[in-house]
Amino acid sequence: MGDVTALLEARDLTAILPGDAGDVRVLDGIELGVFAGEIVDVVGPSGSGKSTLLRAIARLLPGATGTLLLDGSPAEHFTPPAWRRAVALLPQKPVVVDGTVRDNLVLSWRFGVRRQQPMPDDASLAEGLARLGVDAALDRDGSRLSVGQVARIAFLRTLLGKPRVLLLDEPDAALDDASADAVAAMTAQFANAAGAVVRVRHHRPDGIASRRLRLANGSLVAEEVA
């Protein structure tokens, strides 16, 4: 990458959390730089801290220490909401609120989080659902959605916010192969448009990751991309 500035950078990222036998240093001085156009997969055993890493990067982990930068600007130059709009986390268990599919897709506009951005119209919403293979009308009750539909709708909702960085926590864990491929294709498109992606995943390799990092004992180690 030469002298190009990483779009997202973490320096000495550390998190100490309570465990059964006392405090555990889950993140031990993590160093991570992700460049525009990159998709970085983070793997590791259950409980190794992969979700904790994403939460720390999203500034959603109280007590985490270290330095975070977005395109060279320190996180402290952003309000927490502004940071989370730019560095968007899709958690393992996304939220579905009472209301329709449409209501859930434009949730952040409903609550004024993205009041400065134009709300996507129904045609854009329907196109996104079709690309992800979600067979659900915009006025369908959100409580009637399957787990896989919820996962893809939450993914689309995150993309609609136009973040610069995507933090995806097992985005395809609840999906069949065809649905996982559709999510992977839109993830790759996001990266190709100068976005950066950090994914935690256990699904089969999908061929779109630029790098693969293993988190164990609080540290990241590079692995060969499958």
DSSP state of 49: S
Cα angle value 153/132/139 (rounded, 5°):
50
CA dist 12 and 28 (Å) reads 7
Structural domain count of the chain: 1
Distances (CA, A) of 199 to 22, 187, 212: 29, 10, 9
CA dist 128 and 156 (Å) reads 7
pLDDT > 60? residue 1? no
Q: What is the pTM of this model?
A: 0.93
CA dist 149 and 183 (Å) reads 12
List the domain range (segments joined by +) for residue 16. 8-95+162-223
Q: Choose between 191 and 63: higher pLDDT.
A: 191
Note whether residue 47 is domain-resident. yes
Note whether residue 134 is domain-resident. no
CA dist 101 and 14 (Å) reads 38
State pLDDT tens for residues 28-76.
Answer: 999 999 999 999 999 998 888 999 999 999 999 999 999 999 999 999 9
For residue 210, the domain's CATH number is 3.40.50.300
| Tokens 């506009």 found at | 109
Note whether residue 207 is domain-resident. yes
CA dist 87 and 164 (Å) reads 6
pLDDT > 80? residue 9? yes
* Secondary structure class of 65 (helix, strand, coil): strand
CA dist 56 and 167 (Å) reads 11
Note whether residue 1 is domain-resident. no
* CB 136 within 8 Å of CB 142: no
Q: Choose between 226 and 165: higher pLDDT.
A: 165
Note whether residue 195 is domain-resident. yes
Note whether residue 143 is domain-resident. no
Q: Look up residue 107 and give its two tokens.
A: 């949730």
Helix (H) or strand (E) holding 12: strand 8-19
Note whether residue 133 is domain-resident. no
* Secondary structure class of 226 (helix, strand, coil): coil
Quick one: what percent of the chain has pLDDT higher than 90?
A: 78
Note whether residue 56 is domain-resident. yes
Helix/strand number for the chain, H first, E second: 7, 10
